[in-house]
Amino acid sequence: MNFYFGNRYYFLLLLLLPLLGIFIFRFVKWKKNKQKLFAETRFRQILFEKKSRFFTLFFPLYILAFAFLILSMADLMKNGEIIETKQKMNNVIFLLDVSNSMNTEDVEPSRLENAKNIIIQSIEKFKNDRVGVVVFAGEAISIMPLTTDYTAVDTYISGIETHVMKVQGTDFLKGMEIAARKFKNIPENSRKVILLSDGEDNEGNENAAIKKAKEEGIAVISVGIGTEEGAPIPEYVFGQLMGYKTDADGEIVISKRQTQALKNIAESTGGTYINGNNLDSATDEIIENIGKINASSTAMVKSQNAEHYYQYSLTASFFLFCVIYFFNPKKDFNV
């Protein structure tokens, strides 16, 4: 039998028991001294009630009751049988466009912020799925490993800005290559990419990105963000709006969503295209389509049942407190 304690740190509370004993001892001593000062010996039996016979056991029982209570908090357990189950899980990489055009505010609060919110909200609806995040513009980097630990998602996502990429542009191939590397140990045909982009200013290499995705068994769900009417691209310096991007002639550049490249990538890889301008509907469509395209990988998950024995210590503690309550006159602890 393999017994162990689930919360061993609670044993540190046992260090408080000697302090409790010292406190009780000093209290009793202080109480006796007060009685001596208050009256002579011959008057004490008249003025003060006689201590009960239980008095000598009162303090050890208190210490023992608290010791059992701490033991129950430590939670004594014994390992049970090991159960192996197969669980299907999706392997999803969010491929996020961080080119300057994603700062455009034709979608509130901006294309980039809307895309980040879609990622966060989508991951919140995942269960046992492995997810990762790659950002790209004219180059690409991985900022979140393929993992089932979603606790740090906000930390990974919230700090993403367009200036993280020195090389601008929209190079779908560079992003797809990084995603393929992250899928190295994932079975083919269970690899899924969520591409979030406005599709603008791309390097014309969507065909190369499609070829790479097919070679690697990657299905792409593309999410187009931005309006076809477009809007100026704001330029910020240290968070302050300094103006709008202009062309060589000094004219303000109007950034428009280019949908066709995004549709081509999705349709050619067995995925689908989603309009990402509405946060809630885009998130719902992503979750729905992830379950439809390709197969999910299967992982063997081991779990072990544990038998808990804390209730015995808790019962002993409760019993001792009841004994103290019912058999000890409260005057034993009063001055």
Say how far apart CA 312 and CA 264 lie, in whole Å.
65
The reply to whether CATH 3.30.590.20 applies to domain 91-295 is no
Q: Is 197 helix (H, G, I), strand (E, B) or coil?
A: strand
Q: Judge whether 242 and 235 are in contact, CB under 8 Å.
A: yes
Q: Is 252 helix (H, G, I), strand (E, B) or coil?
A: strand
The one-letter amino acid code at 314 reads L
DSSP 119-168: HHHHHHT-SS-EEEEEEESSSEEEEEEEES--TTHHHHHHT--GGG-SS-
Burial class (CB in 10 A: 0-12, 13-18, 19+), 54: middle
At residue 301, the pLDDT reads 43
* DSSP tag of 300: E
Beta strands 273-275; 218-224: pairing state: parallel
At residue 152, the pLDDT reads 76
Residue range(s) of every CATH 3.40.50.410 domain in the chain = 91-295
Among the listed residues 110, 228, 227, 234, the one whose alpha carbon sits nearest the alpha carbon of residue 160: 110
Q: What predicted TM-score, i.e. pTM, was given to this entire model?
A: 0.63
At residue 3, the pLDDT reads 75
> Residue-wise over 238-269: b if at least 16 C-beta within 10 A, else e?
eeeeeeebeeeeeeeeebbbbbebbbbbbebb
| Tens digit of each residue's pLDDT, the chain (335 residues) | 577 777 778 888 888 888 877 887 787 777 777 666 665 555 555 555 555 565 667 778 888 888 888 888 888 777 655 555 555 678 899 999 999 999 999 999 999 999 999 999 999 888 778 899 999 998 999 998 888 888 777 788 888 888 888 888 888 999 999 999 998 888 877 799 999 999 886 667 889 999 999 999 999 999 999 998 999 999 887 778 888 888 888 899 899 999 999 999 999 999 999 999 999 999 999 998 887 765 555 544 444 556 778 888 899 999 988 888 777 655 444 43
Say how far apart CA 85 and CA 14 lie, in whole Å.
40
